[in-house]
Structure 1
Amino acid sequence: MMNQEESLYGQKINEIAQRLHQISKDVESIINDKEMSLQTLRKNNLGYMMAVNNYKKCRSELSKINPPVSVQQEHADFMAAIQMFIAGTELMYRGVCLCSFTINEELIKEGGALEQQGKIHAEWLAEAIAKKLATS
């Protein structure tokens, strides 16, 4: 049976995981936007930067939470997964060049793969944390 501390921690992890999922969906829609107008490139560049900032907010919020002893390793791994979201999205941001109106598909692809890897890890870890808390 979960105690109150574990229950609050589980709720926070769930909230952060849901926000990460939504930010990731926003990034996916940017990746799929293939229009090359200057206005679209600016919008996409801004979208990537906003996603990076939102991922960093999630990481900051998570870093301020004291995890229960039973999930300390998973908590640290969750932090690392969020860092993958950040690093991947920063690569995609750098893949949009406003000065030459170009997209570096290689950076977008590499960043997208890293961001996707972070998503998979974060989802798995959120589930693992929930299971551990439920059985503790």
Structure 2
Amino acid sequence: MSRADTTTHAPPTWRTDEIVLGILQHASGVALVLTAWVLVFTDHTRAAASALLPGLLIVMLYGANQLRFRVVLERGVLLVGAWTLVAPWALGFAANDGATWAHVVLGGVAIASAVTWLRIARRS
């Protein structure tokens, strides 16, 4: 007689580095949305629109990625982060120091978190 396989598969557990990366990635998206809100009140419409769309995309991609990790979603965050990083010069609002620094720092955080997620996925 053969024995039935009685092992159960435990759901994947989160490690501390993955939790920290998730918090950073989500925070960068939320911070971009808040940056857009502040820039609207200071009458910097182009910079506000440039912060709002990537911020919403990062938050949505992060949320979709929590349902089930997909490499393509992290690559999407990587591309959105890269666009956020170069947007001040591509859209012509680099003279606004606050908007430029917000885009560069938060785009860099999004890029760094996406690259780290991709490295973790490659190790697994």
Gapped runs of 5+ residues in structure 2? 1-12, 98-124
Residue 129 and residue 50 in structure 1: after superposition, are their counterparts in 2 closer, same or farther (change >3 A)?
closer
Residue 112 and residue 95 in structure 1: after superposition, are their counterparts in 2 closer, same or farther (change >3 A)?
farther
Residue 82 of structure 1 deviates from its aligned partner by 0.7
CA contact (8 A) 1:55 1:82 kept: yes
Calculate percent identity across the aligned residue pairs. Answer: 7
1:44 paired residue number: 21
Q: How does 1:5-20 map to 2 (within 5 A)?
A: none
The one-letter amino acid of 1:80's match is A
TM-score, L = length of structure 1: 0.48
Task: Determine which of 93, 102, 107 is the counterpart of 1:126.
Answer: 93
Task: Determine which of 91, 96, 107 is the counterpart of 2:73.
Answer: 107
Residue 91 and residue 107 in structure 1: after superposition, are their counterparts in 2 closer, same or farther (change >3 A)?
farther
CA contact (8 A) 1:84 1:114 kept: no
1:57 aligns with 2:26: no
Residue 129 and residue 46 in structure 1: after superposition, are their counterparts in 2 closer, same or farther (change >3 A)?
closer
TM-score, L = length of structure 2: 0.52
Gapped runs of 5+ residues in structure 1? 1-35, 67-74, 131-136
Instruction: Please give the secondary structure, in 2, of the residue aligned with 1:103.
Output: coil
CA contact (8 A) 2:39 2:45 kept: no
Residue 65 of structure 1 deviates from its aligned partner by 0.9
* Count of residues in Structure 1 that have an aligned counterpart in Structure 2: 84
Task: Determine which of 60, 65, 78 is the counterpart of 2:47.
Answer: 78
> Who wins on radius of gyration, i.e. which is larger?
2
Residue 96 of structure 1 deviates from its aligned partner by 4.3
Residue 41 of structure 1 deviates from its aligned partner by 1.3
Residue 59 of structure 1 deviates from its aligned partner by 0.9
RMSD over aligned CA atoms reads 2.8
1:87 paired residue number: 56
Instruction: Select the structure that is richer in helix.
Output: 1
Instruction: Please give the secondary structure, in 1, of the residue aligned with 2:93.
Output: helix
